[in-house]
Amino acid sequence: MPMNNPINVSGLLRFITAGSVDDGKSTLIGRMLYDSKNLQVDQLTAVEASSKKRGMKEVDLSLITDGLLAEREQGITIDVAYRYFATPARKFIVGDSPGHLQYTRNMVTAASSADLAIVLIDAESGVKTQTRRHLYLVHWVGVSHVLFAVNKMDKVGFSEDVYQKIERECVELAHSIGYSKIHSMPVSALDGDNITSRGDRLSWHEGPTLLEYLEQAPTVQDLLHLPFRFSVQRVMRLNRQNIQVNSGFDGADLRGYQGLVVSGEVRVGDEVIISPGGHRAQINSILGASRRLVDSALTQESVTLFLDQDYDVSRGALFTDVNNPMLSSNEFNAELCWFDEAPLDLSRTYLMKQMSNATRVRLKAINELVNVETLERTSDHLSMCMNDIGQVSLKTQTALSFDSFKRNRGTGAFILIDEVSNRTVAAGTIE
Amino acid sequence: MSAVIEKIEIYEKNKTTWTHLDALESEAIHILREVAAECNNPALLFSGGKDSAVVLHLALKAFFPETLPLTLLHIDTEHNYQEVLDFRDRVVKRNNLKLVVRSVGESIRQGRVRLRYEGEPRNKYQTITLLDAIREHNFDVCIGGARRDEEKARAKERIFSFRDEFGQWDPKNQRPEIWNIYNTRVADGENIRTFPISNWTELDVWEYIQREEIELPEIYFTHQRDVVIKNNLLVPVTSLTPAKEGDEISRMSVRFRTVGDITCTAPVASTAATIEAILLETAQTQVTERGATRLDDQTSEAAMELRKKEGYF
């Protein structure tokens, strides 16, 4: 179905490292930055000094990403650190995510914006319960591509047999969670084998090095081929008083809709459905981020749309493809990940935010909880505490337009906010 | 209605490439629009530095052709280069913007800030002036130009970063930030700092400045300046930082990679007179932006984290 893709999104890849504590996530990132010559002299000097202060003989590359005082004190990663590096082929944004259960919400934060997850596995111990949990979360939050990096190959004598056994474990795990295609490779983050160059000790392995893989890995383009969805962030009402000088606009009354193309493409002249309300209107003009009129806008673009007629459209409204309308309901099921210390309270209402749309919501029932370590589902334990994932039934105050998260990550996702504490207490994916 | 729009007779051909700059720009515009739509009284922190110039440019684009639905706020250390202040005022005038200036000097004169010694760098004291300005004007959100590649504490910070009523950042208890759905809610007296260019690198900023032809203060480009070389840093000789006895003054070709408090911002040796030349130098540099230029970050491993916890930008 997809036609020639007019957009080249290969210039920027966002990825994360996931996996159990001590499987070497921070070290891997440090190694990649170091070997691809993306560390500056002063950063390296600082890490050398810190390593020495901690009594280490060699430079501890994991110190490159641990930035908080508490992290340095405890030698663990608490919150995601973002690092930026580039090779001649591509720019990378990498999130180093924490492995500990108690920091699940930070791990999910890191994964939610990633095109790809590198899941690290310790070659000595294979798949652990935390590996399962991380892979489950990575899948739940919508990361489409996964690479298993079997790390610490130096500890198992660079054994091909050990690697193949773990690879089989990974494939099995990935399938049970819902991935149909994955990749894997052996590495040693500590010594640098198969990171930027193969090295002699992994010569039996066929396939790219980690960096070669990342330079070619697919970015998220699936949203581009989905039906058009546009979320109205802000309604701009122009009059003579509020026009930028030299903008070329003369000040007649004009209403434009600022927002993000969540999926698909829109062209001038297209007919769209406005939700809520269900009215139809035509796209009269599209103002691009370039401040020029353009003939079309694609997924990920921030634009301003003008319609051929004035309807009552406010923030949170959606413009959608007339041939592929969204679902609309005030009752639905979702898979929820609970973040807050205070457990879910079924007697309260929460604020739901989906794209730019906010509405009150009551959670009617917890239907089942997922044990993300065994992947078993239970329906006899009916409370939802921090780090729990499970299926819930929700009822919103006003009808919601949405797609199932499986079909469209942009329109099928939401967060829940506690209106008293203002904390983000959960995130959900609509079924 | 359509007639009005057709007056701008520039029509772009369908895009064939979507570069990393387009992706970063679109993300920043989305963030700025969320702020404008959800917050009551947003301020954009504008110092006249390159990062805030980029954020201002993004804001002008995000709301184009509407005037900015936000106020510019400059926390002036009174330790600024005149070129930077002139640039600030020029930009404000040209775009007909609303600017509030609050100065650390005023906070000192009011006794709100006490210096430990005359001429002490004022960067950290901006916190007090900033928090006072936030209270005075009831700003519920301050938009800043901080980037995660600048410093290790910043690398950990959310795009919407929550501050309690004492202006404090609690790095161990940040709100989860999932997908691109932002929680912008705060109680009275609390505050959010929003960083639309969190994911930009120094190189991205310069590439964007080049692409968009964004004007900057002259001191970002090469010029002749008297400096004293101390600990591999070039310390500028100014009325605030006069040469001490025994200092060896050299006149050198330099430019600033960041501009801030005169007493703690050092230029680098450079003959780069154009953005192209700066881009070339930035791509080849061996030292980070702050490592080369900031005298205040080198005091400890966690200098920035400690300042941020106290309410710094």
Transcribe B247-300 into DSSP letters.
Answer: --EEEEEEE-SS---GGGB--EE----SHHHHHHHHHH-SS-HHHHHBSSSTTS
Confidence band for A223, pLDDT divided at 50, 70 and 90: confident
- Residues of chain B positioned with their CB less than 8 A from the CB of A419: 185
pLDDT of residue A8: 41
- Residues of chain B positioned with their CB less than 8 A from the CB of A87: none
Q: What is the mean pLDDT of residues A78-102?
A: 85
What percent of chain A is modeled with pLDDT above 90?
A: 64
On whether the CB atoms of residues A177 and A146 are closer than 8 A, the answer is no
What distances in angstroms separate CA A266 from CA A221, A303, A318, B118, B300, one per listed residue?
16, 11, 13, 61, 52
pLDDT of residue A66: 63
Query: Which one has a higher pLDDT value, A366 or B230?
Result: A366
Q: With an 8 Å Cβ cutoff, is B149 touching chain A?
A: yes
Question: Which residues, 6+ apart, have CB-to-CB distance to B280 below 8 Å?
Answer: B272
Interface contact flag, A68 B18, Cβ < 8 Å: no
- Residues of chain B positioned with their CB less than 8 A from the CB of A105: 176
- Whether residue A2 is predicted with pLDDT greater than 90 in this model: the reply is no
- Whether residue A93 is predicted with pLDDT greater than 70 in this model: the reply is yes
Q: With an 8 Å Cβ cutoff, is A234 touching chain B?
A: yes
Q: Give the mean pLDDT of chain A.
A: 89
Which pTM value belongs to this model? 0.91
- Whether residue A407 is predicted with pLDDT greater than 50 in this model: the reply is yes
- Residues of chain B positioned with their CB less than 8 A from the CB of A338: none
Least confident of A64-68, A376-380, B158-162, B194-198: A64-68
- Residues of chain B positioned with their CB less than 8 A from the CB of A142: 179
pLDDT of residue B286: 65
Nearest C-alpha in A relative to B59: A289
H or E element, residue A355: none
DSSP for A87-150, please give it: ETTEEEEEEE---SGGGHHHHHHHHHT-SEEEEEEETTTBS-HHHHHHHHHHHHTT--EEEEEE
What distances in angstroms separate CA A198 from CA A31, A85, A154, A203, one per listed residue?
14, 20, 13, 7
Q: What is the mean pLDDT of residues A202-226?
A: 87
Question: Which residues, 6+ apart, have CB-to-CB distance to A409 below 8 Å?
Answer: A142, A223, B179
DSSP for B102-149, please give it: EEHHHHHHTTSS--SSTT---TTTHHHHHHHHHHHHT-SEEE----TT
CA–CA distance, A179 with A159 (Å, rounded to integer):
27
pLDDT of residue B14: 40
Interface contact flag, B4 A290, Cβ < 8 Å: no
- The question of ipTM being above 0.90 is answered as yes
Predicted confidence (pLDDT) per residue in A176-205, tens digit: 999 988 899 999 998 999 999 988 999 999
Between positions 286 and 305 of B, the ones with CB within 8 A of A are: 286-288, 291-292, 301-302, 305
- Provide the residue type at B275 as one letter: I
pLDDT of residue B259: 86
pLDDT of residue A33: 87
pLDDT of residue A380: 83
Predicted confidence (pLDDT) per residue in B99-130, tens digit: 999 999 899 999 888 888 887 878 788 889 99
Under-70 pLDDT residues of chain B: 1-16, 286-304, 308, 311
Interface contact flag, A415 B172, Cβ < 8 Å: no
Buried b (16+ CB within 10 A) or exposed e, A28-40: bbbbbbbbbeebb
Nearest C-alpha in A relative to B94: A245
